[in-house]
Structure 1
Protein backbone atom coordinates (compact mmCIF):
# COMPACT_ATOMS: atom_id res chain seq x y z
CA UNK A 1 0.00 0.00 0.00
CA UNK A 2 2.96 2.32 0.52
CA UNK A 3 3.68 2.14 -3.22
CA UNK A 4 0.07 3.22 -3.89
CA UNK A 5 0.65 6.26 -1.67
CA UNK A 6 3.85 7.09 -3.55
CA UNK A 7 1.92 6.93 -6.81
CA UNK A 8 -0.82 9.19 -5.41
CA UNK A 9 1.74 11.75 -4.23
CA UNK A 10 3.51 11.74 -7.60
CA UNK A 11 0.19 12.06 -9.46
CA UNK A 12 -0.74 15.10 -7.34
CA UNK A 13 2.69 16.67 -7.73
CA UNK A 14 2.95 16.34 -11.51
CA UNK A 15 -0.63 17.60 -11.92
CA UNK A 16 0.27 20.74 -10.01
CA UNK A 17 3.41 21.58 -11.99
CA UNK A 18 2.59 19.95 -15.33
CA UNK A 19 5.58 17.58 -15.31
CA UNK A 20 5.90 14.00 -16.41
CA UNK A 21 7.43 12.76 -13.14
CA UNK A 22 9.82 10.34 -14.85
CA UNK A 23 12.56 10.81 -12.25
CA UNK A 24 10.10 10.33 -9.38
CA UNK A 25 8.66 7.11 -10.82
CA UNK A 26 12.16 5.88 -11.52
CA UNK A 27 13.20 6.49 -7.91
CA UNK A 28 10.28 4.48 -6.52
CA UNK A 29 10.76 1.61 -8.97
CA UNK A 30 14.45 1.25 -8.14
CA UNK A 31 14.48 2.02 -4.39
CA UNK A 32 11.12 0.54 -3.32
CA UNK A 33 10.50 -2.22 -5.86
CA UNK A 34 14.14 -3.16 -6.45
CA UNK A 35 14.10 -3.02 -10.24
CA UNK A 36 17.35 -2.72 -12.16
CA UNK A 37 17.78 0.70 -13.75
CA UNK A 38 17.75 -0.77 -17.28
CA UNK A 39 14.28 -2.20 -16.58
CA UNK A 40 13.04 0.66 -14.37
CA UNK A 41 13.61 3.37 -17.01
CA UNK A 42 11.17 1.99 -19.65
CA UNK A 43 8.82 0.77 -16.88
CA UNK A 44 8.63 4.30 -15.45
CA UNK A 45 7.45 5.48 -18.86
CA UNK A 46 4.82 2.74 -18.91
CA UNK A 47 3.63 3.76 -15.44
CA UNK A 48 3.60 7.49 -16.22
CA UNK A 49 1.61 7.37 -19.47
CA UNK A 50 -1.81 6.29 -18.10
CA UNK A 51 -1.66 8.93 -15.34
CA UNK A 52 -0.73 11.58 -17.89
CA UNK A 53 -3.55 10.47 -20.20
CA UNK A 54 -6.27 10.44 -17.54
CA UNK A 55 -4.94 13.69 -16.12
CA UNK A 56 -5.14 15.19 -19.61
CA UNK A 57 -8.76 14.04 -19.99
CA UNK A 58 -9.63 15.75 -16.70
CA UNK A 59 -7.76 18.92 -17.64
CA UNK A 60 -9.51 18.96 -21.02
CA UNK A 61 -12.92 18.54 -19.39
CA UNK A 62 -12.40 21.58 -17.16
CA UNK A 63 -10.92 23.53 -20.09
CA UNK A 64 -7.37 23.98 -18.81
CA UNK A 65 -5.74 22.86 -22.10
CA UNK A 66 -4.63 25.32 -24.80
CA UNK A 67 -4.64 22.98 -27.80
CA UNK A 68 -3.32 25.59 -30.23
CA UNK A 69 -0.12 26.12 -28.25
CA UNK A 70 0.10 22.44 -27.29
CA UNK A 71 -0.09 21.24 -30.89
CA UNK A 72 2.73 23.57 -31.91
CA UNK A 73 4.90 22.18 -29.12
CA UNK A 74 4.11 18.55 -29.99
CA UNK A 75 5.00 18.99 -33.68
CA UNK A 76 8.36 20.56 -32.80
CA UNK A 77 8.99 18.04 -30.00
CA UNK A 78 8.72 15.11 -32.41
CA UNK A 79 11.48 16.64 -34.51
CA UNK A 80 13.52 17.26 -31.36
CA UNK A 81 13.16 13.64 -30.22
CA UNK A 82 14.41 12.38 -33.60
CA UNK A 83 17.37 14.77 -33.67
CA UNK A 84 18.18 14.15 -30.00
CA UNK A 85 18.11 10.37 -30.38
CA UNK A 86 20.62 10.56 -33.23
CA UNK A 87 22.84 13.21 -31.60
CA UNK A 88 22.72 11.68 -28.13
CA UNK A 89 25.31 9.02 -28.91
CA UNK A 90 27.88 11.74 -29.66
CA UNK A 91 27.32 13.98 -26.60
CA UNK A 92 29.15 13.09 -23.34
CA UNK A 93 26.80 12.77 -20.36
CA UNK A 94 28.75 15.35 -18.33
CA UNK A 95 28.42 17.97 -21.08
CA UNK A 96 24.73 17.16 -21.44
CA UNK A 97 24.16 17.64 -17.69
CA UNK A 98 25.82 21.05 -17.80
CA UNK A 99 23.80 22.18 -20.80
CA UNK A 100 20.48 21.00 -19.33
CA UNK A 101 21.29 22.44 -15.89
CA UNK A 102 22.07 25.84 -17.41
CA UNK A 103 18.86 25.79 -19.46
CA UNK A 104 16.78 24.90 -16.39
CA UNK A 105 18.28 27.71 -14.31
CA UNK A 106 17.70 30.29 -17.06
CA UNK A 107 14.14 29.17 -17.73
CA UNK A 108 13.31 29.00 -14.03
CA UNK A 109 14.57 32.55 -13.65
CA UNK A 110 12.40 33.66 -16.58
CA UNK A 111 9.33 32.09 -14.95
CA UNK A 112 10.08 33.91 -11.67
CA UNK A 113 10.52 37.24 -13.47
CA UNK A 114 7.23 36.73 -15.31
CA UNK A 115 5.47 35.90 -12.03
CA UNK A 116 6.79 39.11 -10.45
CA UNK A 117 5.90 41.29 -13.43
CA UNK A 118 2.54 39.55 -14.07
CA UNK A 119 3.08 39.66 -17.84
CA UNK A 120 0.32 38.69 -20.27
CA UNK A 121 0.36 36.31 -23.21
CA UNK A 122 2.64 36.93 -26.16
CA UNK A 123 1.20 38.06 -29.49
CA UNK A 124 -0.24 35.15 -31.48
CA UNK A 125 2.52 34.96 -34.11
CA UNK A 126 5.30 35.23 -31.52
CA UNK A 127 3.55 32.69 -29.32
CA UNK A 128 3.49 30.10 -32.12
CA UNK A 129 7.22 30.34 -32.81
CA UNK A 130 8.11 30.44 -29.12
CA UNK A 131 5.93 27.36 -28.52
CA UNK A 132 7.73 25.54 -31.32
CA UNK A 133 11.09 26.51 -29.84
CA UNK A 134 10.21 25.22 -26.38
CA UNK A 135 8.72 22.07 -27.90
CA UNK A 136 11.92 21.44 -29.88
CA UNK A 137 13.98 21.92 -26.71
CA UNK A 138 11.80 19.48 -24.75
CA UNK A 139 12.06 16.91 -27.54
CA UNK A 140 15.84 17.24 -27.62
CA UNK A 141 15.99 16.53 -23.88
CA UNK A 142 13.86 13.44 -24.31
CA UNK A 143 15.90 12.17 -27.26
CA UNK A 144 19.35 12.92 -25.86
CA UNK A 145 19.04 12.19 -22.16
CA UNK A 146 15.86 10.23 -21.71
CA UNK A 147 14.28 13.01 -19.62
CA UNK A 148 10.52 13.52 -19.75
CA UNK A 149 10.90 17.13 -20.90
CA UNK A 150 8.27 18.13 -18.34
CA UNK A 151 10.18 20.96 -16.66
CA UNK A 152 11.05 22.59 -19.99
CA UNK A 153 7.50 22.21 -21.27
CA UNK A 154 5.86 23.67 -18.15
CA UNK A 155 8.37 26.51 -17.94
CA UNK A 156 7.96 27.31 -21.63
CA UNK A 157 4.18 27.48 -21.30
CA UNK A 158 4.45 29.77 -18.28
CA UNK A 159 6.89 32.04 -20.15
CA UNK A 160 4.45 32.14 -23.08
CA UNK A 161 1.92 33.75 -20.75
CA UNK A 162 -0.33 30.87 -19.76
CA UNK A 163 -1.44 30.84 -16.14
CA UNK A 164 0.10 28.17 -13.91
CA UNK A 165 -3.15 26.19 -14.11
CA UNK A 166 -3.31 26.45 -17.93
CA UNK A 167 0.39 25.61 -18.20
CA UNK A 168 -0.07 22.47 -16.09
CA UNK A 169 -3.08 21.36 -18.15
CA UNK A 170 -1.44 22.02 -21.51
CA UNK A 171 1.81 20.40 -20.38
CA UNK A 172 -0.14 17.26 -19.50
CA UNK A 173 -1.43 17.16 -23.08
CA UNK A 174 2.02 17.70 -24.60
CA UNK A 175 3.73 15.17 -22.34
CA UNK A 176 1.07 12.54 -23.01
CA UNK A 177 1.87 12.75 -26.72
CA UNK A 178 5.65 12.79 -26.16
CA UNK A 179 5.53 9.87 -23.71
CA UNK A 180 3.41 7.81 -26.09
CA UNK A 181 5.94 8.36 -28.88
CA UNK A 182 8.84 7.42 -26.59
CA UNK A 183 7.00 4.35 -25.29
CA UNK A 184 6.45 3.04 -28.81
CA UNK A 185 10.19 3.18 -29.37
CA UNK A 186 10.93 1.36 -26.10
CA UNK A 187 8.43 -1.41 -26.89
CA UNK A 188 10.81 -2.72 -29.55
CA UNK A 189 14.08 -2.27 -27.66
CA UNK A 190 13.48 -2.54 -23.89
CA UNK A 191 12.39 -4.95 -21.18
CA UNK A 192 9.44 -3.99 -18.98
CA UNK A 193 8.41 -5.14 -15.52
CA UNK A 194 4.75 -5.21 -16.52
CA UNK A 195 3.32 -6.16 -13.11
CA UNK A 196 5.75 -4.44 -10.76
CA UNK A 197 4.39 -0.91 -11.10
CA UNK A 198 0.63 -1.42 -11.24
CA UNK A 199 -0.03 -0.03 -7.71
CA UNK A 200 2.22 2.92 -8.48
CA UNK A 201 0.29 3.48 -11.70
CA UNK A 202 -3.10 3.27 -9.95
CA UNK A 203 -2.10 5.80 -7.31
CA UNK A 204 -0.73 8.18 -9.94
CA UNK A 205 -3.95 7.98 -11.97
CA UNK A 206 -6.06 8.82 -8.90
CA UNK A 207 -3.82 11.78 -8.05
CA UNK A 208 -3.73 13.06 -11.64
CA UNK A 209 -7.54 12.94 -11.98
CA UNK A 210 -8.52 14.38 -8.59
CA UNK A 211 -6.00 17.24 -8.33
CA UNK A 212 -7.34 19.40 -11.21
CA UNK A 213 -10.90 18.93 -9.92
CA UNK A 214 -9.88 20.15 -6.45
CA UNK A 215 -7.87 23.11 -7.78
CA UNK A 216 -10.83 24.16 -9.92
CA UNK A 217 -12.85 24.83 -6.76
CA UNK A 218 -10.20 27.18 -5.37
CA UNK A 219 -9.52 30.84 -6.17
CA UNK A 220 -7.48 30.43 -9.38
CA UNK A 221 -5.83 33.84 -9.07
CA UNK A 222 -4.47 32.87 -5.66
CA UNK A 223 -3.48 29.43 -6.93
CA UNK A 224 -1.55 30.97 -9.83
CA UNK A 225 0.18 33.48 -7.55
CA UNK A 226 1.53 30.55 -5.53
CA UNK A 227 2.13 27.95 -8.25
CA UNK A 228 3.94 30.16 -10.78
CA UNK A 229 6.84 31.21 -8.51
CA UNK A 230 6.90 27.68 -7.05
CA UNK A 231 7.31 26.32 -10.58
CA UNK A 232 10.16 28.74 -11.25
CA UNK A 233 11.99 27.83 -8.04
CA UNK A 234 11.46 24.11 -8.67
CA UNK A 235 12.95 24.32 -12.17
CA UNK A 236 15.95 26.24 -10.82
CA UNK A 237 16.37 23.49 -8.20
CA UNK A 238 16.34 20.84 -10.95
CA UNK A 239 18.99 22.83 -12.79
CA UNK A 240 21.24 23.11 -9.75
CA UNK A 241 20.88 19.35 -9.14
CA UNK A 242 22.30 18.71 -12.61
CA UNK A 243 25.61 20.24 -11.46
CA UNK A 244 25.83 18.18 -8.25
Structure 2
Protein backbone atom coordinates (compact mmCIF):
# COMPACT_ATOMS: atom_id res chain seq x y z
CA UNK A 1 0.00 0.00 0.00
CA UNK A 2 2.87 2.35 0.85
CA UNK A 3 4.48 1.77 -2.56
CA UNK A 4 1.14 2.08 -4.31
CA UNK A 5 0.48 5.45 -2.70
CA UNK A 6 3.92 6.71 -3.70
CA UNK A 7 3.32 5.75 -7.34
CA UNK A 8 -0.19 7.22 -7.27
CA UNK A 9 0.97 10.53 -5.76
CA UNK A 10 3.83 10.65 -8.26
CA UNK A 11 1.48 10.00 -11.18
CA UNK A 12 -1.04 12.67 -10.17
CA UNK A 13 1.55 15.35 -9.42
CA UNK A 14 3.59 14.46 -12.53
CA UNK A 15 0.48 14.85 -14.66
CA UNK A 16 -0.36 18.22 -13.06
CA UNK A 17 3.27 19.33 -13.33
CA UNK A 18 3.31 18.98 -17.12
CA UNK A 19 -0.35 19.70 -17.84
CA UNK A 20 -0.35 23.05 -16.02
CA UNK A 21 3.38 23.81 -15.95
CA UNK A 22 3.28 24.13 -12.16
CA UNK A 23 2.65 22.07 -9.04
CA UNK A 24 6.10 20.71 -8.17
CA UNK A 25 5.67 22.26 -4.72
CA UNK A 26 3.02 19.57 -4.21
CA UNK A 27 5.88 17.05 -4.00
CA UNK A 28 7.36 18.89 -1.03
CA UNK A 29 4.00 19.27 0.66
CA UNK A 30 3.19 15.60 0.05
CA UNK A 31 6.52 14.36 1.41
CA UNK A 32 6.24 16.56 4.51
CA UNK A 33 2.53 16.04 5.19
CA UNK A 34 2.08 12.33 4.41
CA UNK A 35 5.58 10.87 4.78
CA UNK A 36 6.82 13.15 7.58
CA UNK A 37 10.14 14.15 6.03
CA UNK A 38 11.99 17.24 7.23
CA UNK A 39 11.70 20.36 5.07
CA UNK A 40 15.25 20.08 3.72
CA UNK A 41 15.01 16.37 2.91
CA UNK A 42 11.60 16.86 1.28
CA UNK A 43 12.93 19.76 -0.82
CA UNK A 44 15.99 17.79 -2.00
CA UNK A 45 13.92 14.68 -2.73
CA UNK A 46 11.30 16.71 -4.62
CA UNK A 47 13.98 18.29 -6.78
CA UNK A 48 15.22 14.85 -7.86
CA UNK A 49 11.70 13.48 -8.42
CA UNK A 50 10.74 16.47 -10.56
CA UNK A 51 13.57 16.15 -13.09
CA UNK A 52 12.41 12.95 -14.89
CA UNK A 53 8.93 14.40 -15.32
CA UNK A 54 10.27 17.62 -16.80
CA UNK A 55 12.51 15.78 -19.26
CA UNK A 56 9.79 13.39 -20.44
CA UNK A 57 7.17 16.13 -20.73
CA UNK A 58 9.53 18.47 -22.59
CA UNK A 59 10.59 15.80 -25.10
CA UNK A 60 6.96 15.06 -25.94
CA UNK A 61 6.05 18.77 -26.09
CA UNK A 62 9.03 19.40 -28.39
CA UNK A 63 7.75 16.79 -30.83
CA UNK A 64 4.32 18.48 -30.89
CA UNK A 65 5.89 21.96 -31.31
CA UNK A 66 4.22 23.25 -28.15
CA UNK A 67 7.23 25.01 -26.59
CA UNK A 68 7.67 28.78 -27.11
CA UNK A 69 11.46 28.76 -27.27
CA UNK A 70 11.78 32.50 -27.90
CA UNK A 71 10.09 33.45 -24.62
CA UNK A 72 11.58 30.42 -22.87
CA UNK A 73 15.19 31.30 -23.63
CA UNK A 74 14.62 34.90 -22.57
CA UNK A 75 13.18 33.90 -19.19
CA UNK A 76 15.73 31.12 -18.73
CA UNK A 77 18.53 33.67 -18.22
CA UNK A 78 16.71 35.27 -15.30
CA UNK A 79 15.76 31.89 -13.83
CA UNK A 80 19.40 30.75 -13.83
CA UNK A 81 20.42 34.01 -12.14
CA UNK A 82 17.79 33.43 -9.44
CA UNK A 83 18.86 29.81 -8.94
CA UNK A 84 22.46 30.79 -8.29
CA UNK A 85 21.36 33.62 -6.00
CA UNK A 86 19.03 31.34 -4.04
CA UNK A 87 21.77 28.77 -3.52
CA UNK A 88 24.03 31.43 -2.00
CA UNK A 89 21.45 32.18 0.72
CA UNK A 90 21.23 28.61 2.03
CA UNK A 91 24.35 28.71 4.31
CA UNK A 92 22.77 31.57 6.26
CA UNK A 93 19.53 29.71 7.08
CA UNK A 94 18.80 27.27 9.93
CA UNK A 95 15.96 24.73 10.11
CA UNK A 96 13.33 27.11 11.49
CA UNK A 97 14.22 29.89 9.02
CA UNK A 98 14.24 27.39 6.15
CA UNK A 99 10.78 26.08 7.15
CA UNK A 100 9.50 29.66 7.37
CA UNK A 101 10.89 30.51 3.93
CA UNK A 102 9.25 27.43 2.38
CA UNK A 103 5.92 28.28 4.01
CA UNK A 104 6.08 31.88 2.82
CA UNK A 105 6.93 30.78 -0.73
CA UNK A 106 4.02 28.31 -0.72
CA UNK A 107 1.62 31.02 0.47
CA UNK A 108 2.92 33.62 -2.02
CA UNK A 109 2.82 31.08 -4.85
CA UNK A 110 -0.76 30.12 -3.98
CA UNK A 111 -1.76 33.80 -3.92
CA UNK A 112 -0.03 34.41 -7.28
CA UNK A 113 -1.85 31.51 -8.93
CA UNK A 114 -5.22 32.61 -7.50
CA UNK A 115 -4.68 36.21 -8.62
CA UNK A 116 -3.61 35.07 -12.07
CA UNK A 117 -6.71 32.86 -12.31
CA UNK A 118 -8.97 35.78 -11.40
CA UNK A 119 -7.34 38.05 -13.99
CA UNK A 120 -7.56 35.34 -16.64
CA UNK A 121 -11.23 34.61 -15.91
CA UNK A 122 -12.07 38.31 -16.19
CA UNK A 123 -9.99 38.54 -19.39
CA UNK A 124 -8.17 41.63 -18.22
CA UNK A 125 -5.24 42.74 -20.32
CA UNK A 126 -1.96 43.33 -18.54
CA UNK A 127 -0.43 46.81 -18.68
CA UNK A 128 2.61 47.40 -20.87
CA UNK A 129 4.70 48.10 -17.75
CA UNK A 130 3.64 44.79 -16.20
CA UNK A 131 4.49 42.91 -19.38
CA UNK A 132 7.90 44.52 -19.48
CA UNK A 133 9.07 43.85 -15.93
CA UNK A 134 6.95 41.16 -14.27
CA UNK A 135 7.96 38.18 -16.47
CA UNK A 136 11.66 38.77 -15.72
CA UNK A 137 10.93 39.25 -12.02
CA UNK A 138 8.73 36.13 -11.93
CA UNK A 139 11.44 34.11 -13.67
CA UNK A 140 14.03 35.27 -11.12
CA UNK A 141 11.71 34.28 -8.26
CA UNK A 142 11.27 30.89 -9.93
CA UNK A 143 15.05 30.41 -9.90
CA UNK A 144 15.30 31.47 -6.25
CA UNK A 145 12.65 28.89 -5.37
CA UNK A 146 14.80 26.21 -7.03
CA UNK A 147 18.11 27.34 -5.59
CA UNK A 148 16.84 27.98 -2.07
CA UNK A 149 13.85 25.76 -1.40
CA UNK A 150 14.13 22.92 -3.91
CA UNK A 151 10.94 23.91 -5.71
CA UNK A 152 10.92 23.97 -9.49
CA UNK A 153 9.17 27.36 -9.57
CA UNK A 154 6.62 26.64 -12.28
CA UNK A 155 3.91 28.92 -10.89
CA UNK A 156 5.77 32.22 -11.36
CA UNK A 157 7.03 31.13 -14.79
CA UNK A 158 3.54 30.29 -16.06
CA UNK A 159 2.14 33.51 -14.59
CA UNK A 160 4.90 35.53 -16.27
CA UNK A 161 4.34 33.94 -19.67
CA UNK A 162 0.59 34.39 -19.49
CA UNK A 163 1.25 38.11 -19.00
CA UNK A 164 3.26 37.95 -22.24
CA UNK A 165 0.05 36.64 -23.89
CA UNK A 166 1.48 33.15 -24.38
CA UNK A 167 -1.37 30.60 -24.62
CA UNK A 168 -1.78 28.51 -21.46
CA UNK A 169 -0.73 25.29 -23.21
CA UNK A 170 2.50 26.84 -24.51
CA UNK A 171 3.12 28.52 -21.16
CA UNK A 172 2.95 25.16 -19.38
CA UNK A 173 5.18 23.43 -21.93
CA UNK A 174 7.74 26.26 -21.93
CA UNK A 175 7.79 26.29 -18.14
CA UNK A 176 8.81 22.62 -18.16
CA UNK A 177 11.58 23.34 -20.66
CA UNK A 178 13.02 26.16 -18.52
CA UNK A 179 12.87 24.14 -15.33
CA UNK A 180 14.94 21.28 -16.71
CA UNK A 181 17.95 23.59 -16.68
CA UNK A 182 17.26 25.28 -13.35
CA UNK A 183 16.55 21.92 -11.69
CA UNK A 184 19.79 20.45 -13.03
CA UNK A 185 21.64 23.53 -11.83
CA UNK A 186 19.99 23.35 -8.42
CA UNK A 187 20.92 19.68 -8.02
CA UNK A 188 24.48 20.36 -9.15
CA UNK A 189 24.91 23.27 -6.73
CA UNK A 190 23.60 21.33 -3.72
CA UNK A 191 24.46 17.69 -4.45
CA UNK A 192 27.16 17.54 -1.76
CA UNK A 193 24.73 18.76 0.94
CA UNK A 194 21.50 17.11 -0.24
CA UNK A 195 19.81 14.46 1.90
CA UNK A 196 17.53 12.44 -0.38
CA UNK A 197 14.95 9.89 0.76
CA UNK A 198 15.76 7.41 -2.02
CA UNK A 199 13.37 4.76 -0.67
CA UNK A 200 10.52 7.17 -1.45
CA UNK A 201 12.00 8.89 -4.48
CA UNK A 202 12.42 5.75 -6.61
CA UNK A 203 8.75 4.75 -6.51
CA UNK A 204 7.41 8.28 -6.67
CA UNK A 205 9.65 9.02 -9.68
CA UNK A 206 8.20 5.97 -11.47
CA UNK A 207 4.68 7.35 -11.06
CA UNK A 208 5.91 10.82 -11.97
CA UNK A 209 7.26 9.68 -15.34
CA UNK A 210 3.98 7.93 -16.15
CA UNK A 211 1.96 11.02 -15.26
CA UNK A 212 4.30 13.31 -17.19
CA UNK A 213 4.06 11.11 -20.28
CA UNK A 214 0.26 11.09 -20.15
CA UNK A 215 -0.16 14.87 -19.76
CA UNK A 216 1.01 15.99 -23.26
CA UNK A 217 -0.96 13.18 -24.87
CA UNK A 218 -4.07 14.25 -22.98
CA UNK A 219 -3.52 17.88 -24.01
CA UNK A 220 -3.26 16.77 -27.63
CA UNK A 221 -6.51 14.79 -27.47
CA UNK A 222 -8.78 17.36 -25.88
CA UNK A 223 -9.91 20.55 -27.58
CA UNK A 224 -8.51 23.97 -26.71
CA UNK A 225 -11.83 24.99 -25.17
CA UNK A 226 -11.91 21.96 -22.84
CA UNK A 227 -8.20 22.48 -22.10
CA UNK A 228 -8.88 26.03 -20.91
CA UNK A 229 -11.85 24.87 -18.85
CA UNK A 230 -9.76 22.23 -17.06
CA UNK A 231 -7.01 24.78 -16.47
CA UNK A 232 -9.47 27.26 -14.93
CA UNK A 233 -10.65 24.58 -12.48
CA UNK A 234 -7.24 23.10 -11.63
CA UNK A 235 -5.34 26.33 -10.96
CA UNK A 236 -7.50 27.52 -8.02
CA UNK A 237 -7.57 23.95 -6.67
CA UNK A 238 -3.77 23.73 -6.70
CA UNK A 239 -3.54 27.18 -5.14
CA UNK A 240 -5.80 26.15 -2.26
CA UNK A 241 -3.76 22.98 -1.66
CA UNK A 242 -0.51 24.96 -1.65
CA UNK A 243 -2.03 27.55 0.68
CA UNK A 244 -3.00 24.80 3.14
CA UNK A 245 0.48 23.30 3.00
CA UNK A 246 1.99 26.73 3.60
CA UNK A 247 -0.04 27.56 6.70
CA UNK A 248 -0.12 24.02 8.17
CA UNK A 249 3.15 24.44 10.18
CA UNK A 250 1.60 27.44 11.97
CA UNK A 251 -1.71 25.77 12.85
* TM superposition score normalised by structure 1: 0.80
Rounded Cα–Cα distance in structure 1 between residues aligned with 2:151 and 2:222 = 32
Rounded Cα–Cα distance in structure 2 between residues aligned with 1:5 and 1:163 = 29
What are the ranges of 5 or more consecutive residues in structure 1 without an aligned counterpart? Answer: none
Alpha-carbon offset, residue 57 of structure 1:
0.6
Residue 23 (1) aligns with residue 23 (2): no
Given the alignment, which residue of 65, 76, 82 partners 1:63?
65
Residue 138 (1) aligns with residue 122 (2): no
Give the secondary structure class of the aligned counterpart of 2:166. Answer: coil
Question: Is the contact between residue 87 and residue 144 of structure 1 (CA under 8 Å) also seen in structure 2?
Answer: yes
Rounded Cα–Cα distance in structure 1 between residues aligned with 2:117 and 2:163 = 6
Name segments (4+ residues, structure 1) moved above 6 Å: none
Partner of 2:111 in structure 1?
105
Alpha-carbon offset, residue 21 of structure 1:
1.8
What are the superposed Cα offsets for residues 125-145 of structure 1, whole Å, 9 maximum, x if unpaired? 985754322211211223333
What value does the CA root-mean-square deviation take over the aligned residues? 3.3
Rounded Cα–Cα distance in structure 1 between residues aligned with 2:172 and 2:79 = 17
Given the alignment, which residue of 45, 48, 65 partners 2:47?
45
What are the superposed Cα offsets for residues 179-216 of structure 1, whole Å, 9 maximum, x if unpaired? 11111123222233445422221221111012211221
Given the alignment, which residue of 144, 168, 173 partners 1:169?
173
Partner of 1:4 in structure 2?
7
What are the superposed Cα offsets for residues 82-109 of structure 1, whole Å, 9 maximum, x if unpaired? 2223345269454774476346424531
Given the alignment, which residue of 78, 81, 90 partners 1:79?
81
User: How many positions carry a matched residue from both structures?
Assistant: 241
Rounded Cα–Cα distance in structure 2 between residues aligned with 1:85 and 1:5 = 31
* TM superposition score normalised by structure 2: 0.79
Partner of 1:147 in structure 2?
151
